[in-house]
């Protein structure tokens, strides 16, 4: 293995470790604050809380532009090579994208509650508080600062941001539990959590940019020049649509279950999914750490290096998945019972089905960043469209037929389809640009592969 490959894997695992530490703290806190919220509100009211916050998260994902990806895609080269003015213009574009899309999300969420709140199973008396909570969408997205953390190899700052939100939500939920506060209070706590994360992420991101000297001539209203970032709008919309369809898969399934089975079953579905994804989260967190390393290898046109890094990660994820299944068999039902404060019949099988979906999603972890970096994000978008069109009617029909187990099984089918769609173009690309083993003449001039540079978004 070459030095570049070893360094890339070292940084990937090191940065993933910071992300795992932050999410592990958040997961531990979630076991506490969810239990407090369930006991304070009761399962039905807690279900309403989950539906309202899930709807806001779904609208946020549907309307926000994923600006950290264009920041890495177009900002890495000028940032690394000292073209600060060009980087500042790219950064200003990404910040504007976050704020403008946040305002659009707030409007969409407010109108959505007014039009569809009753159809989603929310009591009429709670819809006013739900509509007020939609203001939270305006400051949910901290994408540009996340991009700065990844660009500067400062992933530990993401851990601090996650920690600040987890502490606010845990302390607020504890106060609500001991003081017997109701749904409106808990919606306020969830909203304050997002506000604190937004403030801390923005402050840390700006401090990091200033420290690195990347604010030369910065103005929020600076326009991109002709050669700064060709195709940036197409790339941003493609990656954002991909993220949108992924959130449809993750969020709207809960809303459909709530509409079909009611808030109590939606709470069980949401928490069991949270447990399954939480167990698999350490491997999932490789994705944001993988992007900057693949971009560095792409700039060097080290296709065999990319192939070896992706293959090693794929094999490690396979072994990790076997371990996860054992953990879920032993602890899954216990965690579900403890968090909901009720014993749910069939909880172990529900957790196993949810974990199956998460494990199949792990297979996409090294594939999606690779397809994005090499200019084939359209392949990922095509997969998301196919999965979404398959999943939504499938989860509705299977929920009607087999209740929560049917909804969980539908997620497994959709995740398997997505894995197969992403794997096919990756195998074809490697056969074309990096067939077989790395040739012994590594110092030969690299071959430029169409669709692999930062210009454009796919073949």
Based on the fold, state whether residues 362 and 213 are members of the same structural domain: no
> What DSSP assignment string belongs to 3-65?
HHHHHHHHHHHHHHHHHHHHHHHHHHHHHHHHHHHHHHHHHHHHHHHHHHHHHHHHHHHHH--
Query: Do 152 and 173 sit in the same domain of this protein?
Result: yes
Q: How far is CA 91 from the centre of its chain?
A: 21
Determine, yes or no, domain membership for 458: no
Q: Is there a single domain that holds both residue 65 and residue 116?
A: yes
Both 172 and 61 in a single domain? Answer: yes
Q: Identify whether residues 232 and 380 lie together within a single domain.
A: no
- Euclidean distance between CA atoms 333 and 325, whole angstroms: 13
- Let me know if residue 134 belongs to a domain: yes
Q: Token match 């309202």: residue?
A: 52
For 207-272, the DSSP string reads HHHHHTT--TT--TTPPPPTTT-TTHHHHHHHHHHHHHHHHIIIIIHHHHHHHHH-HHHHHHHHHH
> Is 198 part of any domain?
yes
| C-alpha to C-alpha distances, 271 to 42, 63, 268, 346, 434, nearest whole angstrom | 14, 25, 5, 14, 43
Is residue 8 situated within a structural domain? Answer: no
Residue 2 is assigned to a structural domain of this protein: no
Tell whether 456 is covered by a domain: no
Which has the closest alpha carbon to 161: 207, 198, 209?
198
* pTM beyond 0.85: no
Rg (CA), the chain: 22
pLDDT given at position 27: 74
Q: How many whole angstroms separate alpha carbon 372 and alpha carbon 223? A: 25
**Same domain? 382 vs 241:** no
Residues 299 and 345 in one domain: yes
SS (H, E, C) 339-364: HHCCCCCCHHHHHHHHHHHHHHHHCC
Tokens representing 199 are 């403030």
Looking up tokens 């020049």, which residue turns up? 225
37 and 109 both lie in a single domain: yes
Tell me which of 260, 276, 303 is where a domain ends.
260
Tokens 């959709």 found at: 414
Question: Has residue 408 been placed in a domain?
Answer: yes
Which of 200, 234, 260 is the last residue before a domain boundary? 260
Q: With respect to residue 26, please indicate whether it lies within any of the assigned structural domains.
A: no
Helix (H, G, I), strand (E, B) or coil at 448: coil
Number of domains in the chain: 2
Range of the domain at 74: 32-260
Domain C-terminal end among 197, 226, 260: 260
Q: What is the pLDDT along the chain (459 residues), one digit of tens a residue?
A: 566 667 777 777 777 777 777 777 777 888 788 889 988 888 788 888 888 888 898 888 888 888 888 888 888 888 888 788 888 889 999 999 999 999 999 999 999 888 877 776 677 777 788 889 999 999 888 888 988 888 887 878 888 888 888 899 999 999 999 998 988 899 999 999 999 999 999 999 988 888 876 566 678 888 888 778 888 888 888 878 877 776 666 666 777 777 777 777 777 777 777 776 666 666 666 777 777 888 888 877 888 888 888 888 888 877 777 777 777 676 666 666 666 655 556 666 777 787 778 778 778 888 888 888 887 878 888 888 888 888 888 888 888 888 888 888 888 888 899 889 988 998 988 888 888 777 665 544 444 444 444 444 333
Domain identity same for 238 and 294: no
Q: Are 61 and 189 members of one domain?
A: yes
Report the distance separating Cα 375 and Cα 414, nearest Å.
Answer: 24
Is 235 in the same domain as 274?
no
Q: Are residues 154 and 297 in the same domain?
A: no
Give the separation between CA 79 and CA 77, rounded to whole angstroms: 5
């Amino acid at each position: 293995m070459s030095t570049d490959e070893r360094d890339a894997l070292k940084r990937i695992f090191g940065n993933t470790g910071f992300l795992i530490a932050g999410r592990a703290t958040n997961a531990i806190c979630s076991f506490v604050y969810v239990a407090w919220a369930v006991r304070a509100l009761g399962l039905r009211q807690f279900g309403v809380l989950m539906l309202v916050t899930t709807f806001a998260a779904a609208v946020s994902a549907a309307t926000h532009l994923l600006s950290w990806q264009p920041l890495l895609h177009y900002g890495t080269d000028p940032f690394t090579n000292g073209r600060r003015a060009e980087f500042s213009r790219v950064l200003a574009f990404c910040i504007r994208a976050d704020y403008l899309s946040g305002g659009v999300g707030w409007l969409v969420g407010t109108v959505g509650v007014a039009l569809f709140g009753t159809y989603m199973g929310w009591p009429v008396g709670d819809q006013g508080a739900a509509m007020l909570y939609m203001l939270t969408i305006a400051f949910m997205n901290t994408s540009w600062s996340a991009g700065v953390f990844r660009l500067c190899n400062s992933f530990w700052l993401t851990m601090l941001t996650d920690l600040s939100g987890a502490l606010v939500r845990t302390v607020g939920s504890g106060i609500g539990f001991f003081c017997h506060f109701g749904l409106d209070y808990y919606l306020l706590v969830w909203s304050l959590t997002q506000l604190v994360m937004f403030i801390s992420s923005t402050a840390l991101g700006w401090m990091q940019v200033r420290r690195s000297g990347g604010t030369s001539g910065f103005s929020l209203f600076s326009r991109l020049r002709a050669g700064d970032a060709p195709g940036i709008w197409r790339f941003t919309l493609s990656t954002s649509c991909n993220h949108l369809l992924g959130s449809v898969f993750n969020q709207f399934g809960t809303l459909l279950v709530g509409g079909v089975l009611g808030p109590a079953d939606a709470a069980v579905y949401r928490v069991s999914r949270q447990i399954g994804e939480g167990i698999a989260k350490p491997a999932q967190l490789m994705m944001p750490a993988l992007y900057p390393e693949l971009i560095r290898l792409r700039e060097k046109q080290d296709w065999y290096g990319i192939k070896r890094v992706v293959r090693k990660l794929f094999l490690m994820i396979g072994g990790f998945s076997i371990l996860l299944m054992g953990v879920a068999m032993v602890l899954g039902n216990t965690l579900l019972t403890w968090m909901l404060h009720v014993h749910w019949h069939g909880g172990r099988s529900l957790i196993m089905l949810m974990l199956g979906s998460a494990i199949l999603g792990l297979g996409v972890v090294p594939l999606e960043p690779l397809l994005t970096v090499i200019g084939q994000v359209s392949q990922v978008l095509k997969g998301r469209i196919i999965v979404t069109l398959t999943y939504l009617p499938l989860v509705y029909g299977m929920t009607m037929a087999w209740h929560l187990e049917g909804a969980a099984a539908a997620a497994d089918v959709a995740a398997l389809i997505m894995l197969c769609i992403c794997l096919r173009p990756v195998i074809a690309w490697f056969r074309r640009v990096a067939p077989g083993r790395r040739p012994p003449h590594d110092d030969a001039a690299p071959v430029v592969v169409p669709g692999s540079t930062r210009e454009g978004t796919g073949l």
